[in-house]
Amino acid sequence: MNIQNKKNALLIMAATGNYLFSVGNVLLGLKKHSPNMFDDVVIYTDETATEQDKQTIQRIYPVTFKIYDYQIPNKVDRERLKHYSNMCYARFEALAHLDKYHKVFWFDTDFLITGDISGLLEYGKTGISMSIDLDPYPEGHGVHMFFVKNVPGYDMMAEAYASGLIIFTDKLKEPLKLREYLYKQLDKYSSYIKYAEQGILQLMIEDFKLKVDMFPKLIYHAFPFEDKSKARLIHLLGKSKPWQYYTGSAYKEWYENHKKWIELGGDEAYTFKKLIQSHPEAFYGEDRYQNILLMNMLSRKSENSLINNVVEIINYKRNKRKLLRYKILSNLTFGKTRAHYIRKKKDLKAKLKAVKQFLKGK
């Protein structure tokens, strides 16, 4: 395509069918904070994606869906790396779009956008833009962290970059050649890699002597355990995923986006479905998702004295009314009845205090 006819920026993401709710969450955050950042959006998915979820995403942003079915040829390595799913490698497809766009962005789907990220459009002057892997960068950190064993002929202490957010631009020479290289290296070194695609991208950077135009990590790609005071985009790694683990109010905006996703017609997060069926009474009010995850986590700790009453404990409004009732009855009654309500009042106050302390991480 003639460079004058190119559009400016494309966003691509990828998710298996059961993870489209997370794609929807990212797009809702994008629409809220940086609605005009991209000309187009392409979502790679698989055959399990439902029409319901795809139509819901179209209500957020007009997108193009593409089926992505690549699998690592080595079945042993495919099984070893199945935690990451084959969708990780769809980021290589970004290079195939540079004939029509000046810039192609890859976003992981476990992102929470909390502010305007359109400043990212300024990066990519060298052809590729990423953030440093960790900030502050720890001593002894390097490319070797992305592999289960050293790759012969490569600098395993080279500077390591985070691959959750990548900007490819048409400053790159022969992007289709790079795409072909990435798949070949993935096949060749699949027994070496630890985190799916991340190490393969590092090999590309070294082999083609690419200079990475680094954007500020703590603004545009902060990890949960890093300084998030200026973060406009948080990468919800590991146990920070609010649809899998209880995170209190730390990522309340993610839950707000998810409720909007449901209102628009999206399917419930697969992680919440069984919890809803088991404990529907815990789903109420503004904090229903946080509550169900809290209860699920507490239920795994049999030694926790809160478990038997956790549904009552997390139902703050109901317990406030109950506590008021106990206070009134403890003043209006006499004898054993009064003692009974005084004890009930005391126990409930202690339980509520324990939950508050738990929520504060004390």
Q: CA-CA-CA-CA torsion for 24, 33, 172, 45, nearest 10 degrees? A: 0
State the average pLDDT over residues 15-41. Answer: 98
CA–CA gap between residue 104 and residue 352 (Å, rounded)? 50
* Alpha carbons 188 and 154: distance in angstroms, whole number: 14
pTM: 0.82
Which residues lie below 8 Å from residue 308, measured CB to CB, with a gap of 6+? none
Find out whether 186 and 197 touch, Cβ atoms under 8 Å.
Answer: yes
Q: Which residues have C-beta within 8 Å of that of residue 148, sequence separation ≥ 6?
A: 191, 192, 193, 194
Q: Which residue has the tokens 């006499």?
A: 334
- Residue 149, token pair as written in the block: 């064993």
Using N-to-C axis directions, what is the helix angle for 198-207 and 175-188, rounded to 10°? Answer: 120
CATH 3.90.550.10 residue window(s) in the chain: 3-235
| Residue 150: how many other CB atoms lie within 10 Å | 11
Summarize the confidence of residues 25-36 as an average pLDDT.
98
- Non-local CB neighbours of 35 within 8 Å, separated by 6+ positions: none
3-235 to CATH, choices 1.20.140.150, 1.25.40.10, 3.90.550.10, 3.30.1450.10: 3.90.550.10
Alpha-carbon distance values, 176 to 12, 179, 181, 298 (Å) = 17, 5, 9, 50
| Predicted local confidence at residue 306, as pLDDT | 45
Residue at 25: amino acid letter:
N
152-161 per-residue burial string, b: 16 or more CB within 10 A, e: under 16: eebebeeebb
Closest of 136, 110, 112 to residue 216, by C-alpha: 136
Q: Are 95 and 179 in contact (CB under 8 A)?
A: yes
pLDDT per residue as tens digits for the range 56-91 = 999 999 999 999 999 988 999 888 888 888 999 999
Helix axes 270-278, 288-299, angle to 10 degrees: 80
> Which pLDDT band, with edges at 50, 70 and 90, does 351 fall under?
confident
Write down the pLDDT at residue 272.
86
